[in-house]
Amino acid sequence: MGPKWHPRRSVPTTLQSAKQITACESAEDLPEVWSNDYRSVKLEDEIQRLMAFLDATQRSYGTADSLCESPLMKSTWGDPVVQFYQNLYLKAGSQIVRSTMWTLVRFESGADEVPAPTAPPTSEFGILEFKVPNELSDVLHSLYSSWDALFWINQESELSGFPHEESERTAYMENPAEVLTMRIKLEHHRIEIPETFYIDRYLEKNLGTARILKSQMFQIWQALAKSKDAENKITKWKDPTDVWKEHDRIALAKKVIAKVENQIWKVRANALWRKHEQSVGTEDEIPYLPTELNHLAELNEEEDKTVKIFESQLDLARRKLINIDQQLARLGQEKEACCNLLQRMAEVLTVPSEEPEMDPTHKYTLRGVITSPDVVYTCRRREADSSEAESSNAEVDQWWRIAWVAGDENPVRQEATTFAKVQEAIFTEVDTDGSKVPILVYATDKALNEEPAPLSDALKVGPPAKISPD
Q: State pLDDT tens for residues 175-201.
A: 898 999 999 998 888 999 999 999 999
Q: Are 348 and 213 in contact (CB under 8 A)?
A: yes
| Alpha-carbon 374 to chain mean position | 20
CA distance 78 to 303: 70
Residues 6+ apart with CB under 8 A from 211: 110, 170
Ramachandran angles phi, psi of 301, nearest 5°: -60, -45
Percent helix, strand and coil across the chain, each to the nearest 5: 45, 20, 35
125-164 tens-digit pLDDT: 888 888 888 888 889 999 999 999 989 987 666 677 788 8
- Using pLDDT thresholds of 50, 70 and 90, give the confidence band for residue 332: very high
**pLDDT per residue over 85-103, tens digit each?**
766 666 665 566 666 777 7
Confidence at residue 56, expressed as pLDDT on a 0 to 100 scale: 55
* Cα separation, 437 vs 427, whole angstroms: 9
pLDDT (mean) for 252-274: 93
Grade residue 6 by pLDDT with cuts at 50, 70 and 90. Answer: very low
Of 23-27, 297-301, 305-309, the range with the lowest mean pLDDT is 23-27
Asked whether residue 354 carries a pLDDT value surpassing 70, the answer given is: yes
Rank 50-54, 102-106, 411-415 by mean pLDDT and report only the highest. Answer: 411-415
Are 297 and 275 in contact, with CB atoms under 8 Å apart? yes
Instruction: Read off the pLDDT of residues 286-303 as tens digits, 9 standing for 90 and up.
Output: 888 888 877 888 889 999
Please give the radius of gyration of the chain, using alpha carbons only, rounded to the nearest integer: 32
Give me the pLDDT at residue 134, please.
Answer: 87
Q: Residue 141: how many CB atoms within 10 A of its CB?
A: 19
**Please, are residues 371 and 424 in contact by the beta-carbon 8 Å criterion?**
no
State the chain's mean pLDDT as an integer. Answer: 79
What does the alpha-carbon distance between residue 170 and residue 202 come to, in Å, rounded to a whole number?
A: 9
Kindly report which listed range (211-220, 241-250, 417-426, 450-459) carries the lowest average pLDDT score.
Answer: 450-459
- What is the DSSP code (8-state) at residue 153? I
Q: What whole-number percentage of the chain has pLDDT above 70?
A: 71
Where are the domains positioned within the chain?
Answer: 43-228+355-383+393-460, 238-347
In terms of CATH architecture, what is 43-228+355-383+393-460?
Answer: Alpha-Beta Complex (3.90)
Instruction: Give the confidence band of 71 by pLDDT, cuts at 50, 70, 90.
Output: low
The pLDDT of residue 155 is 65
The whole-model pTM stands at 0.75
Question: Please, what is the angle between helix 43-55 and helix 80-91, to 10°?
Answer: 110
Specify whether the CB–CB gap between 102 and 18 falls below 8 A. no
Rounded to an integer, the average pLDDT of 207-233 is 93
